[in-house]
Structure 1
Amino acid sequence: MRRKPAVAILLVAASSASATTPLRPSDLFGTWRCGPTVLQGPGFTVTVTDETTKLPDGTFTGHSRSLISAPGKAPLTLEDRSSGTWELVGDVVRSRINHVEFLSASDPSVTKDAGQKAQDDQLARKSVYESRILEFNGTHVRSIPVNAMHKEAAVESTCERI
């Protein structure tokens, strides 16, 4: 009689244990620090970190920092603050951004007005973002965007409850 490897049995047991408990919205209440999440584009890299607070009333607030780097150019750091609504639909978190405020840029030639216009233009193009939760253990979440606006944005991110 052949015996199954112990590793295979452990993997089956672990996957069935995580699949038995559905995620609830209350599991996601609180403040989460995400990233750094690295997006690679043609000739540039964007590294994003953010903190988002999800409230029981279905609203959120967030603060993001993006570091844009390209060969031969000085890195550019941008910061913004956002707010909106969120909901959990199965294993997908759907966030609707209602407002974004451009806060700063490390390059003084990027004015507050220009940064705000860029944020407003982005919000006009897309205001609803969805992420599929791949793993949740109460203090950490791994997720990946659903229908990302750009293929470079379809990367996994990790968040920790703070």
Structure 2
Amino acid sequence: MTTTPPPDPTEPTNADSANAPRRTAPFAKLSRLRCGALSTAASSQTPPSARTTDNAQTRTAAAALTFTEATAIHTISRYCVAGTIDATTCEAFGAHLDDIVTARRPFLLDLTAVPFVSVGGLTLIEALAHTTAQREIRWALAAEYSLHRFLTLLNMDTHVPSFDNADTALTHITNMNESKH
């Protein structure tokens, strides 16, 4: 007697496939990030009411991940992410990283309010590191110890400038800026 595994919930059934749009894998954004193209589909999902008129912008993905942008100091932007980066939010996280890279400004990616980052999220962070290096964009990552540990174990810490708090990360970006002038 053989048993069949249950169907994958991410795949539409035959009855649903004619009426349902195809879902893209979270890594579809990864390929766009490496090419540097802005994900217009993901950006258009943000309603105008989700953006504020002052210097901060907030976007919520699947009510599980919140993105906030503000000016940290001078021309350095600070992007704060709160929530869990997992299979349900990885696509939105990738789209947000696309937006950051497109801006071509120095930035701090603050993940100190993120308790968990999936392998897909780590892959997106690694792609971000490669893209920013190619485009010579100064940046730093602020995150909890557990994320630093994963970056070290996966040997990603050599090209991801990561720090345990936002102040240290901002100091790093500022020092990079001063050394270029």
Tell whether the structures are fold-level matches, with TM greater than 0.5.
no
Q: Of Structure 1 and Structure 2, which has the larger fraction of its residues in helix? A: 2
Higher Cα Rg: structure 1 or 2? 1
| TM superposition score normalised by structure 1 | 0.27
| TM superposition score normalised by structure 2 | 0.25
Q: Of Structure 1 and Structure 2, which has the larger fraction of its residues in strand? A: 1
